[in-house]
Amino acid sequence: MTAVLLLVVACGGGDGEPAGAGSRPDVLLIVVDTLRADHLGSYGYARDTSPHIDALAADSTRYTRAFSHAPWTTPSVAALLTSRYPASLGIANVQSPLPDGVALLPELLRDAGYRTGAFVSHSFVSRKWGFARGFDSFDESQVKGHLATTSPALSDLAIDWLERHLGDQPVFLLLHYFDPHFGYLEQRDFPFEGRDPSYTGPVRSGSLPSRFADAPETLGADDLRELRRLYDSEIALTDREIGRVLACLRDAGRYASSVVVLTGDHGEEFLDHGALDHAKTLYDELVRVPLLVKLPGRPPATVDSPVALVDVLPTLLDWLDLEAPLGVRGRSLLAEAAAPRPIFLETQRLRRLRAVVHGDHKLIVDLDSGDAQLFDLAADPGERSDLAGERPEQVAALRRLLDDWAGGQPEVRGEPLELSDEERERLEALGYL
């Protein structure tokens, strides 16, 4: 449910070197919910959904095989902010909060002298779910549900905050944009050819996937085309609002000396494997996310080796010359390329699935049935051809990696959240419970 843009804005300097303790750069982390990698121009999409993100990509290292660790928001953003896997955080369902006792990025930066603030627009990254820890100020005023447009107001709040706080001390600001999440609303400024006047199908602006949950296979090509058009309209609006925040940095003379990291918490399904929305599978349409890293003084590049969201925190701390806490599972992307290592993915919410990506191959295991699927992502990026029956030895080797990883996860678990009747009814209506 969430895509992520991380901006590190250097206060002064700009010589392309990591800031030392005496000149900490400012840090802005923007999370865009449900941003699918292959719906961005910089990742090959034909529709002009993302000119501001694409301009950032032109200045960045673009990682073509970046993975989220879960297909929904809470565990994915938790992994991003802790560099720990969701299983070790005890995040299994919508009542699982981010647990105490694990260091979060805002806590680490506040301890290093940062002023910290956050503006969020989804309850799954809210104070109740544990994400306010480490922030001097935490604003949830834009948590308005699935049929509200909140990106313009969120950018207004962000720009005001930056204008008030840039310069007096280094700042860390978390922004969470929600609009690409369902229901997809057609945005007036981004109709993308507009609704086909001959279209008479069931998809309308604001349609929720739950409307089609009983029989998604009845949706035809025209229906899916309309769903994607509405989704793209939401991405384009969010891209424009990200552009406003970046323009604020440029106007302040800070963009050129900024470190910028853009990624996503997960993607979205449009019947790629027979389902709509997200959280149900670990196929690439949900777990392959955009990742752009702009570092001052470094030329743009493209990297095709697998990386993951747990790598963002150690990368950022490495650049800031701060020590990573014990227990982080990622590695700095600033280091020399190391030997390929397995990347682990999981979900326990609607189905109990685990997956491992190692090199060009991905193994997905259903924990309840024991069934496994094996895909060659280089030869079969759409994951259409299951090779498990043909390659039992490879399946066994990857299963051992999964089992060893799962058995070695120390767990810190928060107390299950008590949901109000209103919260429970809202989550049930959206298919979250």
Going by C-alpha positions, the residue among 262, 293, 252, 321 that lies closest to residue 24 is 321
CATH number of 3-341: 3.40.720.10
Position 8 scores a pLDDT of: 46
Tokens of 187: 């945005």
pTM of the model as a whole:
0.92
Domain ranges of the chain: 3-341
CA distance 295 to 260: 7
Digitized pLDDT (tens) for each residue of the chain, 433 residues in all: 445 455 444 433 333 444 444 478 888 888 889 999 999 999 999 999 999 999 989 999 899 999 999 999 999 999 999 999 998 999 989 999 999 989 999 999 999 999 999 999 999 999 999 999 999 999 999 999 889 999 999 999 999 998 999 887 888 988 899 999 999 999 999 999 888 889 999 999 998 877 887 788 889 999 999 999 999 999 999 999 999 998 888 898 888 877 778 888 999 999 999 999 899 999 999 999 999 888 788 899 999 999 999 999 999 999 889 999 999 999 999 887 667 899 999 999 889 999 999 999 999 999 999 999 999 999 999 999 999 999 999 999 999 999 999 987 767 778 889 999 888 887 776 667 7
State the amino acid at position 145 in one-letter form: G
Number of Cβ within 10 Å of residue 104's Cβ equals 22
Q: Which residues contact 369 (CB under 8 A, 6 or more apart)?
A: none
Position 28 scores a pLDDT of: 81
Alpha helices in 119-219 (DSSP H): 151-165
The residue written with tokens 């089609």 in the block is: 212
CA distance 10 to 12: 6
Residue 337 phi, psi dihedral angles, 5° rounding: -55, 125
**Segment 357-412, tens digit of pLDDT:** 999 999 999 999 999 999 999 999 999 999 999 999 999 999 999 999 998 776 77
Cβ-contact 4, 264 below 8 angstroms: yes
Cβ-contact 196, 226 below 8 angstroms: yes
Where does residue 285 fall: left (phi above 0), alpha (psi -120 to 50 degrees), or beta otherwise?
alpha
Long-range contacts of 47-51 (CB under 8 A, 24+ apart): 47/192, 47/232, 48/236, 49/232, 49/235, 49/236, 49/239, 50/235, 50/236, 50/239, 51/239, 51/243
CA distance 109 to 66: 24
The residue written with tokens 């002009």 in the block is: 48
**Segment 17-48, tens digit of pLDDT:** 444 444 788 888 888 899 999 999 999 999 99
State the amino acid at position 242 in one-letter form: I
Position 55 scores a pLDDT of: 94
